Structures are given as C-alpha cells and as structure tokens.
C-alpha cells in the first residue's frame, strides 16, 4: 500500500512572482504580512511581491527578522506583528528559514491563545495535539533547495534546547519563479542544491516509498546532476536555474509523502551541535546514507548510478561506488569538508547521540543503532577530506 498527496497548487514559471497579488486575492487575502530576511530585502525580490500585492489592492506589512534555522523567538515576534497589523494572510519569501518562519507564524497566529509555542513546534505523532487551521499562506522560494513550499512541515528551532523541531502546516499556494534564483552565489547554490538532492535520496530509502515520490525524486536527481554544476559556474544561466527550481520543488513534493529520515537526523545533529549549515550537512551525510541503503533498493539505486554515468557490474559494488560518485560530485561543486570548516573528528562524533534522538531516522528502510550512526558520522569525516 502506498499513500501520496498533492498539497497545494504551484504557480511555476519565469516572472510568476508578479502574479502574487492575483493569487493572494483569490485566496481571500486583503491584508498581508510578508515574512522575509534582511539579506533578501536587499535583493529587491520582496519589493516585486509588494508591488504585485499593492496592484491587487492588498495591504502589506513586512517582517524582515527571519534568522537562520527559524528560531521560535522569530515566530513569536512575527506573530505579534501580524496581530498588530490585523493580517489575514501570510506570505513567505526567501530560503527555507523564511518559508518555515512564515508557516510557523501562520499556525501560531490562530493557535497562540490555546497552545504554547513549544508544544506547537514539538509535533509528536504519537500524541498529536488538535490545532486550529493556520492563516492562509503563499510561499515564494528564492533558492532551489528547501522544497518547503510544497511540504506539510515547518522546521522551527527550539531556542531553549537548540533542537530542530517541526510543526504540521502547509501553504495554500506556492509561487516558484526560477528567475528569483538568477545570480545566486556559488556556495548557496551548491548547498541548497545538495539539500534538494538529500531530500530525493531520503525519500527513495523511506520505509514507505511510493511511485509518485520515486518518479519525482529520480527526475529531480537527474536535473540536479546535470544542472547544479552549471548553475554553480554560471549563476545567470536561465536553463540551469529553471531545471533546479523544478528539481527543488519536485523533491519537496516527493518527500512530502516519503519523508526524509536518517540523513536529515544526522544533518540536524550537525546543525544543532556544530552549527553546520543545513545544505552542507545534507551534502556531507548523503554518501554515508547511500552506502547504508543502496543495497536495500538496488533497482532504484542502479537508476541513480545510471544518472551518475557509472558502470555497475554487481549489486555488491553499488553502494560504495555510488557513494564515492556523490563525494566526487560534492567536490566538483565546492562542498567544504569538515576539516575545511575547522571541525574535528571528535566533534563530528559528539553529535551521534543527537542524531540517535531524532525519531525521523526511524523512517529509513534500513534500521540503525548507535554503532551504525557512529560509523556513518566517522565516514562523514574520514571519507571526505
């Protein structure tokens, strides 16, 4: 049995950001809080959103206090601003942190009277709490990586425990405009691209894969393999940006059902304990995940090997060969090693317990224990220097 879903309409295409006002109006929005971060404001993209909203007669206020990894304090701050301005809709514009903060604000806005923020962000599938529906939202990614515009989760950081948590909330519409990513720097392009790659890899090794996720994830990997190196070298290449925008969104839709698991548990551990940016963490752990899981779904991982132009003569050699190919790909697009980042092997190993505590890792097709996670973390350091 498999389950797959389609959460919200995606308005995709060059210049689509200029239709945000029409899309928001259709959703009944009259007074919007635009959630973004200061560095995004400097790109001029939020102004395009504002112009489109004003053209449709929608009032706009701006919250530009988004911070990396979406701390819960910014969700509280943004919600206060939404209340004081009487917002009836939230628009997120930016990278993953902006979109997740915007989704968090939309949910907290309608629930803060009854639910503590900590309870809201620590979603526990074993003890789900009943929440009011969130305010209407539109998500506009400005990077190709997060996929948050098409997932039902907002990843929010608990600032007391430094844990990356999640609450269940999804957008009513997504605007995916590849032009918004034109000119993005090579590092952010590479990191976000490998985040999307890791989303694909992990949904392919989920305990509950399905044909919808498999198809989208494989197609996304094909686009990333071909176009990510191009976008890193030529930031203004329209064709590369177009393909990566599709890849990121397809990956988001894919892991919406067959969710991320052990790789993200490890990346979250590296992020929470060692402040490794999410995309770098995902890029570095993905080869270890592939080595763990490729033998469990050889028919799928042989397809990835084909995309990577590898000759595989037996299922036995598949995991190592493919993992090494992904490490080479990481090198080619400039993913730094732990050593490059000034992190020691012991520091990497100190995150094992955090990764073990992340329940999402149970969604992986291959079960892990402390010894396995320790080996995988050691590989992250030893096999990529």
Applying CB under 5 A, the residues found at the interface with Fe ion are 195
Q: How far is the CB of 209 from Fe ion (least distance, A)?
A: 18
What secondary structure, in 3-state letters, does 281-296 show? HHHHHHHHHHHHHHHH
> Whose CB is nearest to Fe ion?
195
Q: How far is the CB of 143 from Fe ion (least distance, A)?
A: 11
| For Fe ion, the closer CB: 115 or 221 | 221
Q: How far is the CB of 87 from Fe ion (least distance, A)?
A: 28
Q: Which of left, alpha, beta for 259 (phi over 0: left; psi -120 to 50: alpha)?
A: beta
Q: How far is the CB of 199 from Fe ion (least distance, A)?
A: 6
| For Fe ion, the closer CB: 255 or 384 | 255
| For Fe ion, the closer CB: 195 or 379 | 195
| For Fe ion, the closer CB: 46 or 145 | 145
Close Cβ partners of 326 (under 8 Å, ≥ 6 residues apart) = 197, 286, 287, 290, 308
Q: How far is the CB of 121 from Fe ion (least distance, A)?
A: 17
| For Fe ion, the closer CB: 23 or 66 | 66
| For Fe ion, the closer CB: 33 or 139 | 139
| For Fe ion, the closer CB: 198 or 243 | 198
Q: How far is the CB of 206 from Fe ion (least distance, A)?
A: 14
| For Fe ion, the closer CB: 69 or 195 | 195
What secondary structure, in 3-state letters, does the chain show? CCCCCCCCCEEECCCHHHHHHHHHHHCCCCEEEEECEHHHHCCCHHHHHHHHHHHCCCEEEEECECCCCCEHHHHHHHHHHHHHHCCCEEEEEECHHHHHHHHHHHHHHCCCCCCCHHHHHECCCCCCCCCCCCCEEEEEECCCCCCHHHCCEEEEEECCCCEEEEEECCCCEEEECHHHHCCCCHHHHHHHHHHHHHHHHHHHCECCCCHHHHHHHHHHHHHHHHHHHHHHHCCCCHHHHHHHHHHHHHHHHHHHHCCCCHHHHHHHHHHHHHCCCHHHHHHHHHHHHHHHHHHHCHHHHHHHHHHCCCCCCCCCCHHHHHHHHHHHHHHHCCCCCCCCCCCCHHHHHCCHHHHHHCHHHHHECCCCCHHHHHHHHHHHHHCCC
| For Fe ion, the closer CB: 149 or 195 | 195
Q: How far is the CB of 92 from Fe ion (least distance, A)?
A: 16
Q: How far is the CB of 282 from Fe ion (least distance, A)?
A: 6
Q: How far is the CB of 195 from Fe ion (least distance, A)?
A: 4
């Amino acid at each position: 049995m498999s389950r797959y879903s389609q959460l919200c309409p995606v308005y995709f295409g060059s210049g689509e950001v200029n239709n945000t006002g029409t899309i928001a109006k259709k959703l009944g929005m009259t007074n919007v809080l635009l959630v973004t971060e200061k560095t995004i404001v400097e790109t001029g993209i939020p102004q395009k959103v504002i112009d489109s909203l004003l053209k449709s007669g929608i009032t706009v206020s701006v919250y530009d206090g988004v911070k990396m990894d979406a701390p819960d304090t910014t969700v509280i701050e943004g919600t206060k601003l939404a209340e004081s301005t009487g917002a009836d809709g939230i628009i997120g514009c930016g990278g993953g942190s902006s979109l997740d903060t915007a989704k968090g604000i939309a949910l907290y806005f309608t629930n803060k009277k009854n639910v503590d923020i900590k309870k809201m962000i620590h979603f526990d599938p074993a003890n789900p709490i009943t929440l009011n529906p969130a305010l209407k939202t539109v998500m506009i990614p400005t990077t190709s990586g997060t996929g948050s515009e098409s997932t039902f989760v907002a990843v929010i950081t608990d600032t007391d425990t430094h844990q990356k948590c999640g609450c269940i909330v999804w957008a009513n519409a997504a605007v995916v405009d590849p032009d918004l990513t034109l000119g993005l720097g090579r590092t952010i392009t590479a990191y976000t691209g490998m985040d999307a790659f890791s989303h694909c890899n992990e949904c392919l090794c989920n305990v509950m894969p399905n044909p919808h996720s498999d198809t989208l994830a494989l197609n996304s990997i094909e686009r990333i393999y071909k176009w990510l190196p191009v976008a890193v070298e030529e930031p203004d290449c329209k064709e590369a940006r177009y393909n990566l925008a599709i890849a990121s969104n397809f990956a988001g839709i894919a892991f919406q059902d067959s969710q991320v698991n052990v790789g993200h548990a490890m990346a979250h551990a590296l992020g929470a304990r060692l402040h490794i940016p999410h995309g770098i963490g995902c890029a570095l752990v993905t080869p270890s995940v592939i080595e763990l899981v490729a033998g469990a779904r050889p028919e799928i991982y042989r397809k990835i090997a084909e995309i990577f132009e590898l000759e595989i003569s037996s299922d036995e050699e598949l995991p190592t060969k493919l993992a090494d190919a992904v490490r080479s790909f990481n090198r080619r697009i400039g993913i730094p090693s732990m050593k490059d980042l000034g992190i020691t092997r012991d520091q990497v190993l100190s995150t094992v317990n955090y990764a073990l505590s992340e329940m999402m890792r149970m969604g992986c097709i291959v079960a892990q224990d402390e010894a396995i996670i320790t080996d995988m973390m050691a590989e992250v350091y030893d096999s990529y220097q």
